[in-house]
Amino acid sequence: MRAGEGDPEALIRAFRESTVYVQRIDPLSLPMVEMNGLKWIAAFSSLEKLAQHLKAQSEVDYLAVQGERLLDTYLPAFPGRTGIVFDTGSEHMIALPPVKGIVSDELAVDA
């Protein structure tokens, strides 16, 4: 979806209903990057896209999780406000920032 195009609510619904794949460092840790005071997790629509993103690594430990669970259970457990970058590096990459309508009001930076 490009700026000004598509249906953002349908996109969020589809993400919540989908299984997504996240690299796992160990059973309790997911890699994050910090930019402009926000933390971000990379999630992918398939194991193939995750593997392409991590092409330098021969073996990848991953977590397969429902998008809804990632947003509503995992993100609140992280310190600070955290968003998701979905299918980074692909043509249809999107950012799901920690704002109302994506995360709970308690986690939203715009609450």
Q: Look up residue 91 and give its two tokens.
A: 């043509």
In this prediction, residue 1 carries a pLDDT of 43
Output 95 or 55, whichever has higher pLDDT: 95
pLDDT tens for each residue of 61-108: 899 999 999 999 999 998 888 999 999 988 889 999 999 999 988 889
pTM of the entire predicted model = 0.86
User: Residue 102's closest CA among 81, 79, 88?
Assistant: 81
pLDDT tens for each residue of 26-50: 777 888 999 888 999 999 999 989 9
In this prediction, residue 69 carries a pLDDT of 96
**CATH 3.40.1350.90: does it fit domain 8-96?**
yes
Gap between the Cα atoms of 70 and 72, Å rounded: 6
Q: Domain locations in the chain?
A: 8-96
Q: Is residue 38 a contact partner of residue 82, using CB atoms and an 8 Å limit?
A: yes
Q: Look up residue 26 and give its two tokens.
A: 């160990």
Q: Is residue 86 a contact partner of residue 45, using CB atoms and an 8 Å limit?
A: yes
The 3-state DSSP class for residue 66 equals strand
Number of C-beta neighbours around residue 18 at 10 A: 15
Gap between the Cα atoms of 36 and 73, Å rounded: 24
In the chain, the amino acid numbered 94 is: I
